Amino acid sequence: MSQSHIMPGFRPALAFTLFYLGLVVLIPLSTLVFKSLQLGWDDYLNIITNERVLAAFRVSFTTSLLAAAIAGIFGFVIAWVMVRYPFTGKRILDALIDLPFALPTAVAGVVLATIYQPTGLFGKWLIDSFGVKVAYTPLGIVVALIFIGIPFVVRTIEPVLQEFDNTMEEAASSLGATRGQVFRKIIFPNIFPALITGVSLAFARGVGEYGSVIFIAGNLPYISEIVPLLIVTKLEQYQYAGATAIALTMLVISFILLLVINLLQRWVRVRSGQI
């Protein structure tokens, strides 16, 4: 009895997939690696251990992690409201959630810089009321990354909430569980893997974000300069070796962090019984 495949044309489809991955992903990355190998080890270390480079790495990764965590909290609340509560204007709000996907990042950066600058609508109010300056600081970077990261969290959690079996909540409530206990012990453990996925996507997008950040960050070396901007700066100065060394280092760190996040996702799914 011959074995049948669910998807017809498996071999051509697999060949096309491998060709696409090689053309779009592997070839550019291998070129980056080979270009970096032209540097000596001492030259490579001198580039990536430069104080300005280390400061840019610190700014990029810390702001991305903080923004992803905050986006996870707000994205969870938004997804919960969108799925659990009917209200007027729900479709309009649902469309606005996807706005960062469609909006050019440069446009988003200009808008955020305009409203959060010291003379802007929100920026002036925050300074006058709380003494907090957003634009041209690392806080401005966090705000921009939250803006672009929330849709990833919302769109990852929404399907899980929509498919959640409400009978488990009803059974727990009939057995005397409070709303808080139902949420902590039944709802949240089932949603947590999707939440981790959404946060990791927001983090991955934030690390490499450029357009929406450079306008609001101020781009001050050692303070609010991000790694993508530093790479572009070195390319403009024809320092290709320095740009490739920094890019390769960022690639390796991002890969390690995403690998750790994927392992965490798998561990959470195993603990929650989804695997």
pLDDT tens, 94-117?
A: 888 888 888 888 888 888 989 998
Q: Can you tell me the mean pLDDT for 8-37?
A: 71
Confidence category of residue 42, pLDDT binned at 50, 70, 90 = confident
> Alpha carbon of 159 to those of 51, 80, 82, 89, 184: distances in Å?
44, 11, 11, 20, 19
User: Which candidate, 157, 169, 186, 173, places its Cα nearest to that of 73?
Assistant: 157
Q: Which of 27-31, 70-74, 118-122 has the lowest mean pLDDT?
A: 27-31
Share of the chain above pLDDT 90, in %: 22
Confidence category of residue 150, pLDDT binned at 50, 70, 90 = very high
**SS3 call for 267:** helix
For the record, the structure tokens of 177 come out as: 């569980």
pLDDT at 173: 80
pLDDT at 143: 93
User: How far is Cα 246 from Cα 230, in angstroms, rounded to an integer?
Assistant: 9
User: How far is Cα 237 from Cα 78, in angstroms, rounded to an integer?
Assistant: 44
What is the biggest distance separating any 2 CA atoms in the chain, rounded to whole angstroms?
78
> Alpha carbon of 176 to those of 34, 168, 169, 179: distances in Å?
63, 13, 11, 10
Q: Report the sign of the C-alpha dihedral through residues 177, 180, 184, 187, in that order.
A: positive
The size of the chain, in residues, is 275
For the record, the structure tokens of 192 come out as: 């947590």
pLDDT of 274 over the 60 cut: no
For the record, the structure tokens of 215 come out as: 């306008």
pLDDT of 7 over the 80 cut: no
Q: Residue 202 carries which side chain, given as an amino acid letter?
A: A
Q: Residue 265 carries which side chain, given as an amino acid letter?
A: Q
Dihedrals phi, psi of 62, to nearest 5 degrees? -70, -45
**CB proximity list for 71: less than 8 A, separation 6 or greater:** 145, 146, 149, 150, 152, 153, 198, 199, 202
pLDDT of 146 over the 90 cut: yes
Q: Can you tell me the mean pLDDT for 63-89?
A: 91
CATH class given for the domain over 56-225: mainly alpha
pLDDT tens, 159-218?
A: 988 888 777 877 878 877 788 888 888 888 888 888 988 998 899 889 888 888 988 888
DSSP for 145-213 reads HHHHHHHHHHHHHHHHHHT--HHHHHHHHHTT--HHHHIIIIIHHHHHHHHHHHHHHHHHHHHT--HHH
Share of the chain above pLDDT 70, in %: 90
> Alpha carbon of 178 to those of 142, 172, 175: distances in Å?
36, 8, 9
> Alpha carbon of 229 to those of 28, 79, 226, 235: distances in Å?
19, 33, 6, 10
pLDDT at 1: 45
Place of tokens 């988003």: 108
User: How far is Cα 71 from Cα 94, in angstroms, rounded to an integer?
Assistant: 16
Q: Report the sign of the C-alpha dihedral through residues 66, 67, 73, 76, in that order.
A: negative
Contact indicator for 217, 225 with CB cutoff of 8 Å:
yes
DSSP for 88-105 reads TTHHHHHHHHTHHHHS-H
pLDDT of 273 over the 70 cut: no
